[in-house]
């Protein structure tokens, strides 16, 4: 009988537990909270401000249940320790992650734009390099042809200069020889003229002397 009673009690308890479980609802604690900052370590003290969830505080004097904290604006007051955590809340971390994501996305967009600009500049530079290479090749060919022509002209100039020097030397020699011949010719003419004059003078002198002799007799 006692065993049967125990079984009935056990079954009833199980039914009650299953009923309680079936009627229970799941709840989540919100991350959004406004924590009162009070003038003293008790709920009886005046509220100075409301501190929102995720706000950074500086613990000035820790306590067992309440701690004296300082806000970013310098205001000090007491808050409950159970609402203070060492790490930022999930909302703050989410906001930080979203900020980092936005920053990284902006950086990625900037990098993509810069990469596109670099590609355009590289293509422009490549085209310019190809054009300059073609122009340099053409200039090199023209310069090479001009250099060959210049060398030919230089060679011809040297040949003509050599021939001119030889002809000038020969002309100077001929001129010197001609001057010698002219001088000899002048001397011959001078001697011939002098001889004629001398012969004429002798003939004249002899004729004059011959005419004077009869007159003396």
**Which pLDDT score, from 0 to 100, does residue 48 have?**
93
**Which pLDDT score, from 0 to 100, does residue 77 have?**
94
Who's near 34: CB < 8 A, 6+ residues apart?
Answer: 50, 51, 52, 53
Total length of the chain? 217
* Vertex 17 angle, CA 13 and 19, to 5°: 115
**Which pLDDT score, from 0 to 100, does residue 99 have?**
82
d(CA 32, CA 37): 16
Q: Where are the domains of the chain?
A: 34-89, 90-163
Query: Tell me, which fold does domain 34-89 have in CATH?
Result: SH3 type barrels. (2.30.30)
**Which pLDDT score, from 0 to 100, does residue 11 have?**
61
- For the chain, residues with pLDDT lower than 70 are 1-32, 89-96, 208-217
C-beta atoms surrounding 41 within 10 Å: 19
């Amino acid at each position: 009988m006692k065993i049967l009673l125990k079984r009935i009690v056990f079954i009833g308890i199980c039914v009650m537990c299953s009923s309680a479980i079936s009627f229970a609802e799941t709840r989540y604690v919100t991350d959004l909270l406004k924590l009162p900052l009070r003038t003293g370590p008790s709920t009886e003290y005046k509220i100075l401000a409301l501190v929102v969830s995720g706000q950074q505080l500086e613990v000035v004097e820790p306590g067992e249940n309440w701690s004296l904290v300082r806000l970013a604006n310098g205001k000090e007051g007491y808050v409950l320790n159970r609402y203070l955590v060492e790490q930022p809340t999930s909302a703050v971390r989410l906001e930080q992650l979203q900020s980092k994501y936005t920053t990284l996305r902006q950086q990625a967009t900037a990098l993509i734009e810069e990469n596109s600009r670099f590609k355009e500049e590289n293509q422009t530079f490549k085209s310019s390099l190809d054009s300059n290479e073609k122009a340099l090749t053409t200039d090199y060919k023209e310069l090479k042809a001009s250099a060959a022509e210049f060398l030919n002209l230089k060679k011809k100039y040297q040949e003509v200069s050599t021939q001119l020097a030889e002809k000038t030397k020969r002309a100077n020699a001929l001129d010197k020889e001609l001057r010698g011949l002219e001088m000899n010719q002048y001397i011959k003419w001078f001697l011939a003229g002098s001889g004629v004059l001398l012969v004429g003078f002798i003939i004249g002198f002899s004729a004059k002397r011959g005419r004077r002799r009869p007159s003396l007799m």
